[in-house]
A and B are shown apart, each in its own frame.
Chain A
Amino acid sequence: MTLWWAIVATCAACYALKLAGLSAPRRILDHPGVQRFATLVPVALLAALIAVQTFGHGQALHLDWPRTAGMGAAVLALLLRAPFLVVLAVAAVVTAALRHLLS
């Protein structure tokens, strides 16, 4: 398998997966169980993404202090009811500052 084929297959598969969910038949979408699952599933996936992107490094768990502190600062900003974009900025600035200081 050459690299180009892997790239074309990845592009086609990723697009088909997006289209499949969006085009599921009405009959399936209207089923109460499916609706409940679809409403709740983003909560589980988002929580998983937060955990994996904060503490994961490939297949290893890894405590990146600056990034963890950045996420802690984001939690603090959220507790102080900071606006959305301020939360993102706080996380990036704290992470970058600590990384700069620790390196």
Chain B
Amino acid sequence: METTTRSSATRNGLGVGIAVGLSGVAFGAAAVTAGLSVAQACVLSLFAFTGASQFALVGVVAGGGNLVAGTAGAMLLGARNSLYGLRMAGVLDIRGWRRPLTAQGVIDETTAVALAQPDEESSRTAFLVTFVSLYLTWNATTLLGALGTSWVADPAVFGLDAVGPATFLAILWPRLTGSGPETRALRLIAGGGAAIALASTPFTPPGVPVLLASMAVLAVILRRPK
């Protein structure tokens, strides 16, 4: 039983890590097209390692925008990883020298796959497997994409742009399909979050809509104390 949930955690982690990691090709290609060097693209994937922020900075460079604004946008997008960190601190319970290493892995996909597991042991396994497989794949494909901008096919041709949102949907799904007041509250939060994000997209810089979505949680908490 325990082995089953652990191996399913490993399988899901590898699946998400590799599938989402492949879109590093898109990042590498976008970065070099925008005017970054191959080394600059690789440094971002190695050390920033949070796709949305990386794309945000590169997007500003491509548009000839202000680099300070580009960096600020990347930071705003990265701020949600702090919120994930708050949640993951209890699950991972990591101290000492391993914490700075683990911190690099606190992103959308690792948090989502970890929290989808039934118990904390498989959550930790899922986090680690997703982190390592995604980190390796993302960095390898960033390099490939950056080196081969001219000959790498557009990842959209393979439908890889649908893998990200489909991953988040598959992870969110079980939390929204139950019954009871808690599930109703979660549905309200999910619906509210999506609506806030879409409504604010045209009026705010990229990255802000997703952060604003956390207001949906405040609304539900304040409405139903405890």
Contact = CB atoms under 8 A, between A and B. Distances in A.
Interface of A: 1-7, 9-11, 13-15, 17-24, 29, 32-56, 58-61, 66-67, 70-71, 74-75, 78, 84-85, 87-88, 90-97, 99-100
Interface residues of B, number: 100
Contacts of A45: 80, 83-84, 108, 193, 210, 213-214
Given A15-B103, A45-B213, A52-B210, A20 B82 contact: yes
Instruction: Say what secondary structure dominates the interface of chain B.
Output: helix
A24 B44 contact: no
Contacts of A71: 162, 165-166, 169
B180 interface: no
B85 A18 contact: yes
Nearest to A9: B71
A10 B217 contact: no
B194 interface: yes
Contacts of B198: 51-52, 55-56, 61
A29 to B, nearest CB: 6
B79 A17 contact: yes
B162 A58 contact: no
Given A29-B90, A51-B197, A95-B162, A78 B81 contact: no
A11 B48 CA distance: 4
A24 B169 contact: no
